Amino acid sequence: MTKTDLENTPDRRWANTLTEYLARYNITLGENPRILNIGCGKNVTWNFLGVLFYLASHDLGFPDYVGVDVTEEAFGDGKRALGDLVTFVPCDARDLGNHVKGPFHLVIIEHPNLSTSPEGPRIWGKIFQEAGELLDDNGVLILTSFWLNDHIPAQIALERCHYRILYSGRNQFPGRRFDTSSSGEPLVMEKYILLARKGTRRIGPQDRQQ
Ligand SMILES: C[S@@+](CC[C@H](N)C(=O)[O-])C[C@H]1O[C@@H](n2cnc3c(N)ncnc32)[C@H](O)[C@@H]1O
C-alpha cells in the first residue's frame, strides 16, 4: 500500500471534505457537535471516523452522532464496528421527527437513492423536509452522490424544501470508481457534493408533502 493509498481512504477523504468545504463557507461547528447521518448504511463507519479526524484536528471533542436507516440490517456492519460510539435508529426517515430529537449541527446524507424508482425524489423530498426541521439554524447539510441522476434531483428537492444551496458540483475529494452507467458516466463514490443551509423562509407544516 502506498502513502497515497493511505491518504485516500474514505475516512481521510471525509476529513478532507469537511476541512475544505466547511472552511470555504465559513461554517464552524461548536464543541461536541450533534451529527445526523440519514440513510447511513454500513458506510457510516467511514464517515464517523472522518468526522472524528476533523473534530480532533479542530479541538472540537467528540460528536453526538446519530445514524438512521430503514432497517437494522442496513447499518448492521456499522453498528457491530462502532457499538455505542454511535446511536443507531432504525426508522423510515420520512417520519424522522418522531424518532430523533434535534437540533443537529451537521446532517450528512451519502448517496441517497433518488433515481432508483419514480417515487425516489418524492420520498427523499419528504426526508429533506424532516431533516430541515431538525437542522440547527446555523447548521449545514452535506449530501453526496455518485452520479448526476441523483445529484440534480437532490438539488431540486432541497430547493423545493427552501434550503439555501451553498455549493453544488464536483467533489474535490471523490472516492473510487465502482461502475459505469448505461450512458457511459463513470460512477464514483462521493463524486458530487451539495452543501445547503436552512433558507430564511422557515420549513413548516405548510410545506409538508403527503
Ligand atoms: C444508496 S444507499 C447509500 C448508503 C450509504 N449512505 C452509503 O453511502 O453507502 C441508500 C440508503 O438510503 C436508505 N434509505 C432509503 N430510503 C430510506 C428511508 N425512507 N428512510 C431511511 N433510510 C432510507 C437505504 O436503506 C440505503 O441504506
Are the beta carbons of 32 and 61 closer than 8 angstroms?
yes
Grouping H, G, I as helix, E, B as strand and the rest as coil, residue 146 is coil
Question: Is position 58 within any domain?
Answer: yes
Ligand 1 near 130 CB (within 6 A): no
Grouping H, G, I as helix, E, B as strand and the rest as coil, residue 192 is strand
Total domain count, the chain: 1
Average pLDDT score, the chain: 93
Residue 110 Cα to ligand 1 middle (Å)? 8
Which residue is listed with cell 420520498?
123
Residue 105 above 80 pLDDT?
yes
**Beta strands, E only, 25-85:** 34-38, 64-69
- Name the residue range of residue 143's domain: 3-110+128-200
Residue nearest to atom 27 of ligand 1 (CA): 41
CATH classification at residue 85: 3.40.50.150
Atom of ligand 1 nearest to the CA of 189: 8
**pLDDT value at residue 88:** 98
Mean pLDDT value of segment 6-17 = 91
Claim: this prediction has a pTM higher than 0.85: yes
Question: Is position 118 within any domain?
Answer: no
DSSP code at position 62: -
Residue 210 above 50 pLDDT?
no
Residue 152 Cα to ligand 1 middle (Å)? 17
Mean pLDDT value of segment 49-76 = 98
What cell was used for 16? Answer: 478532507
What cell was used for 140? Answer: 449545514
Q: Terminus-to-terminus CA distance in the chain, angstroms?
A: 50
Residue 1 Cα to ligand 1 middle (Å)? 31
